[in-house]
């Protein structure tokens, strides 16, 4: 599904990713953990096609294509989804409008006709039930006046509607109460299938108790310094990141 080789990226001349290597096979859920500022959100943003980063070296292959050649819209149409650490508010643009536009953009990209209004509302009705959102909420502006937890639910709702091949969720679990965490983890598990892959960026083991990952990776100072099975998350929780051997003595 996704193959990242020796990825280096910088912002305004400051190196952030310093040679990331990562393979995400189709059908797997991988967690990326790591200290604050290690480059997790940068990696997620680069995969989704945000343009504030300069990629100075390396490659990213998605379903056999050079992902870095595709703009953010094309990536979305190709089935890449990013759930943001800080979901943006778009007052005046309703969640429904945005989702219908996204669904239709993908259909157009594939040469398919637009989704029928009835079919779309049926899809919405089915998915809001999974995340416990009301129709009233989805008619409001995107994340407009949503609480932190509601924004995260909305990210999962969008993901369920769009059914991505590759979902990248950046700290979707942060700041959630137990009920919202359950909604988020159920949503992620619902999409788990042999055809899809998920990358979960998280600080906490909590989410990984509900969504047991196939692999766990530790990103520190812009490199993956350790990979393992789900038990690695337990080790990190017990021991923290400081004890991990790193070869990043040259990090700023
Ligand atoms: P993490 O998500 O692991 O906490 P980030 O990817 O958000 O880390 O940030 C990694 C480093 O890159 C931090 O030092 C951060 O300040 C810096 N950084 C990220 N994005 C930008 C940006 N747009 N401009 C300047 N610095 C940035
Ligand atoms: Mg952070
Ligand atoms: Mg982050």
Ligand 3 centroid to residue 171 C-alpha, Å:
7
Ligand 3 centroid to residue 134 C-alpha, Å:
29
Residue with the smallest CA separation from ligand 1 atom 26 is 11
pLDDT number for residue 126: 95
pLDDT number for residue 160: 96
pLDDT number for residue 186: 95
Ligand 1 atom nearest to CA at 219 = 3
Superfamily (CATH) of domain 2-239: P-loop containing nucleotide triphosphate hydrolases (3.40.50.300)
Task: Please state, in angstroms and rounded to a whole number, the distance separating the CA atoms of residues 76 and 86.
Answer: 19
Structure tokens at 90: 């778009």
pTM of the entire structure?
0.91
Domain ranges of the chain: 2-239
pLDDT number for residue 251: 41
Query: CA nearest 132: which of 69, 184, 58?
Result: 184
Task: Give this complex's ipTM.
Answer: 0.94
Indicate the top mutation candidate among 10, 42, 169 to test ligand 1's pocket, ranked by most ligand atoms within 8 A of CB: 42
pLDDT number for residue 241: 82
CA of 37, nearest ligand number? 1
Indicate the top mutation candidate among 10, 37, 169, 173 to test ligand 1's pocket, ranked by most ligand atoms within 8 A of CB: 37
pLDDT number for residue 143: 87
Q: Which residues line ligand 1 (CB under 6 A)?
A: 11, 16, 34, 36-42, 52
pLDDT number for residue 248: 46
pLDDT number for residue 90: 87
Q: Any residues with CB less than 8 A from the CB of 231 and at least 6 apart, and which?
A: none
Q: What are the CA-CA distances from residue 21 to residues 6, 30, 38, 117, 172 (Å)?
A: 5, 13, 15, 43, 23
Indicate the top mutation candidate among 9, 11, 201 to test ligand 1's pocket, ranked by most ligand atoms within 8 A of CB: 11
Helix (H), strand (E), coil (C) string for the chain: CEEEEEEEEEECCEEEEEEEEEEECCCCEEEEECCCCCCHHHHHHHHHCCCCCEEEEEEEEECCEEHHHCCHHHHHHCCEEEECCCCCCEEEEEHHHHHHHHHHHHHHHCCCCCCCHHHHHHHHHHHHHHHCCCHHHHHCEECCCCCHHHHHHHHHHHHHHHCCCEEEEECCCCCCCHHHHHHHHHHHHHHCCCCCEEEEECCCCHHHHHCCCCEEEEEECCEEEEEECCHHHHHHHHHCCCCCCCCCCCCC
CB 65 within 8 A of CB 78: yes
pLDDT number for residue 245: 58
Successive 10-residue mean pLDDT values, the chain, 252 residues: 98 96 98 94 93 95 96 93 84 92 95 96 95 92 88 93 95 84 93 96 89 96 96 89 58 39
Ligand 1 atom nearest to CA at 201 = 2
């Amino acid at each position: 599904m996704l193959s990242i080789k020796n990825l280096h990226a910088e912002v305004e001349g400051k190196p952030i990713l310093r040679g990331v290597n990562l393979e995400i096979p189709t059908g797997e859920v991988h967690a990326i953990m790591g200290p604050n500022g290690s480059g997790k959100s940068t990696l997620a943003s680069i995969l989704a096609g945000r343009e504030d980063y300069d990629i100075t070296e390396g490659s990213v292959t998605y379903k056999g294509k050079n992902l870095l050649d595709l703009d953010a819209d094309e990536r979305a149409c190709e089935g890449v989804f990013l759930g943001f650490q800080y979901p943006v508010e778009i007052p005046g643009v309703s969640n429904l409008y945005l989702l219908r536009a996204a669904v239709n953009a993908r259909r157009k990209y594939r040469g398919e006709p637009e989704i029928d209004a009835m079919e779309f509302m049926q899809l919405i009705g089915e998915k809001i039930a999974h995340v416990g959102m009301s129709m009233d909420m989805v008619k409001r502006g995107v994340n407009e006046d949503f609480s932190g937890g509601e924004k995260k639910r909305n990210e999962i709702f969008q993901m369920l509607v769009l059914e991505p091949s590759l979902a990248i969720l950046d700290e979707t679990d942060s700041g959630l109460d137990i009920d919202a965490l359950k909604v988020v983890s159920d949503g992620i598990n619902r999409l788990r299938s042999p055809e899809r892959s998920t990358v979960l960026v998280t600080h906490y083991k909590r989410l990984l108790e509900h969504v047991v990952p196939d692999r766990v990776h530790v990103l520190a100072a812009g490199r993956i310094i350790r990979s393992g099975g789900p038990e690695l998350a337990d080790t990190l929780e017990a021991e923290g990141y400081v004890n991990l051997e790193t070869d990043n003595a040259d990090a700023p």
